[in-house]
Structure 1
Amino acid sequence: MAKSLKFLELKDFLDEKVSLYNHPKFIESDPIQIPHQFSLKEDIEIAAFLAATIAWGNRKSIINNAHKMMQLMHQSPYDFVLNHTNEDLKQLNTFVHRTFNGDDFIQFIKSLKHLYTKHNGLEAVFAHHAETNSMQHAIHEFKLKFFEIQHLKRTTKHISDPLKNSAAKRINMFLRWMVRNDGAGVDLGIWKSIKPSQLSCPLDVHSGNVARKLGLLKRSQNDTKALAELDAKLRKLDPTDPVKYDFALFGLGVFEKF
């Protein structure tokens, strides 16, 4: 009895934190503000994908640099991806965010063009390989397709591969943005071919530490196995929308220093 009570108490506590942080005011301090600027589906998903790609380090600098990316693409990411000239690509050379530089940015634009012209775009690639309760194999397949054109070897490190033991935090975050549509106004929920129940929590230092303190995670590294362990626990708390708890774990870690 005590155990189920403890479970219910934890669920209530986390649900309360989800309500607190899954709120439009969260957008102002988060990279999710970048895709929120757009209304065309393809603009939203490309802006989200690029912003998520550089989402590590200082949050202010992530947001500033993601805005720079949009400016370099003339605030029309989809049109830029499809119709860029070599001259346009040269302008991207100036870009740098930590280890992601202009060469990587140019490669990403070429790979995105390949996905939209040969594979029906970002959503189609992920949806094609999605499994009932996991997107991890789909992320692996996505990376293969993204780099099936001629590419710089250095750029491949900017997309994680769960089958190579990565928790793939940034891609799981991007997928959360695209798939969840709970009416709260934060996640964009523009993809209809993938269900929230298939998503995984974006696992990073903050969410990992909070999950360990709450007894949701035992494994000490933030890797594929840890993600599977955390996913299993979060699916018990809410089988239809497990990654809503990312708001609770992130908020507790970043804003409350839990």
Structure 2
Amino acid sequence: MKRREQAVEEGMGVQRVSRRSRGEGLSVQAAGRLRPLLESFLASTDTGARMGFDPVEFPHRYAHPRDIEVSALLAASLAYGRADLFRPKVDALLRRMGASPAAFVQELKVAGARELLEGFVYRFNVGTDVAVLLLGMGQALRELGSLEALFVRGREAHGTVHGALSHFTATLREVPMAPLRRALGPERGLHHLLPSPLGAGAAKRLNLYLRWMVRGPDTVDFGIWKQVPASALVIPLDTHIGRISQHLGLTRRTDLSWRTAEEVTASLRLLDAADPVRYDFALCHYGMSGVCPAQPVVGNCAKCLLLPACAVGPRLVRRSSSSQP
């Protein structure tokens, strides 16, 4: 894999879809036209049918807030690549961690990490990488009582979500590395798992984790972090959200950067200032399911509830109609 392609996969850099990257978000007038379409689209989404394709299914196994936040961060951190490949890895780890992931990480030592993670490999990550995450979570729970408290401390210190996330990951990585390396070998993709410094990338998986913890509660998100308002969240930007956001005029930027994520979020705040990322699950799965693919399908476009606001679909539908005998 080329260095640039690997950086994209690892979320370490900024993916360039084309050379144009100058941004411009949604106008107030366009927001007024888009809002009812998105509301109908959201209401039509079969959330239950998509839950099995989303890593949020894992924290839904638990009831206690600490177990939810620990299992959720593990699941979100490993949720890259194909779902059918990362889901078995997350499932196996959580099953071995027992009924309470929070209690497990609070009691975890290097020997236990070796027992759990020896031989673990998932794409860019090896057991040492995951051990840092688990030991870091345990340390945060022992010292602060929750992962929420760690994030809030960073937000108070830095004032932004980006700064808070950078503080969050840096603190989780503050575990002694020498004993881990002796027990499990060298780390390999630790920056991918816990990026520090956060950099210019969109930090999709970390923002996904925040969405789960902060907004809601509803059938998808938990709303267990009460000290962070949903209005502060940033969209978990990936290729699906990026493409659909361009179609809907939420941004004209074509890179998957933090700046683009902020611009898309700013457009969504015109639709719902208090809860701008509430459309994320539905829109992301619209792309993931193949209904709105990278190469548009005319038949799908013709039936799409968002067609009147789309910059791509109407042209394809008109072209297809005019070519019919």
Give the TM-score normalised by the residue count of structure 1: 0.90
Q: Distance in 1 between matches of 2:200 and 2:82?
A: 25
Deviations 1:113-160 (A, max 9, x none): 221122333100112233799522110111221123334764233123
Q: How many residues align?
A: 255
Please list, as runs of the form range in 1=range in 2, the aligned pairs for 1:156-167 lying within 5 A after superposition: 156-160=191-195, 164-167=199-202
Structure 2 equivalent of residue 90 of structure 1: 114
- Higher alpha-carbon deviation: 155-164 or 57-66: 155-164
> Which structure dedicates a bigger proportion of its chain to helix?
1
C-alpha contact (below 8 Å) 1:133/1:198 kept by paired residues: no
- Higher alpha-carbon deviation: 100-109 or 47-56: 100-109
Deviations 1:144-198 (A, max 9, x none): 211233347642331235851021100100010111114x311111111111111
Please say if 1:15 is aligned against 2:48. Answer: no
Give the SS at the match of 2:118. helix
Deviations 1:64-87 (A, max 9, x none): 211011023134311211113444
Structure 2 equivalent of residue 147 of structure 1: 173
Q: Using a 3 Å threshold, how does the CA distance of structure 1 residues 157 and 163 change in structure 2: closer, same or farther?
A: closer
In the alignment, which of 104, 125, 128 is matched to residue 150 of structure 2?
A: 125
Please say if 1:251 is aligned against 2:285. Answer: yes
In the alignment, which of 141, 156, 165 is matched to residue 116 of structure 1?
A: 141
Structure 2 equivalent of residue 78 of structure 1: 102
1:213 to partner: Cα distance: 1.4
What stretches of structure 1 of length at least 5 have no aligned partner? none
Deviations 1:193-226 (A, max 9, x none): 1111111110001110111111111111101111
Structure 1 equivalent of residue 265 of structure 2: 231
RMSD over aligned Cα atoms: 2.3
Please say if 1:100 is aligned against 2:159. Answer: no
Deviations 1:27-46 (A, max 9, x none): 22211110000111111110
Q: Distance in 2 between matches of 1:50 and 1:172?
A: 14
- The structure with more radius of gyration: 2
C-alpha contact (below 8 Å) 2:129/2:187 kept by paired residues: no
Amino acid of the structure 2 residue aligned with 1:254: M
Q: Distance in 1 between matches of 2:88 and 2:45?
A: 22
C-alpha contact (below 8 Å) 2:216/2:223 kept by paired residues: yes
Structure 1 runs of 4+ off > 4 angstroms?
131-134
C-alpha contact (below 8 Å) 2:31/2:270 kept by paired residues: no
Q: Distance in 1 between matches of 2:29 and 2:164?
A: 36
Give the SS at the match of 2:205. helix
Q: Using a 3 Å threshold, how does the CA distance of structure 1 residues 71 and 248 change in structure 2: closer, same or farther?
A: closer
Q: Distance in 2 between matches of 1:254 and 1:239?
A: 26
Structure 1 equivalent of residue 238 of structure 2: 204
Q: Distance in 1 between matches of 2:122 and 2:105?
A: 20
Amino acid of the structure 2 residue aligned with 1:144: A
Percent identity over paired residues: 31
Structure 2 equivalent of residue 177 of structure 1: 212
C-alpha contact (below 8 Å) 2:132/2:175 kept by paired residues: no
Q: Distance in 2 between matches of 1:238 and 1:64?
A: 36
1:62 to partner: Cα distance: 2.1
Q: Using a 3 Å threshold, how does the CA distance of structure 1 residues 129 and 89 change in structure 2: closer, same or farther?
A: closer
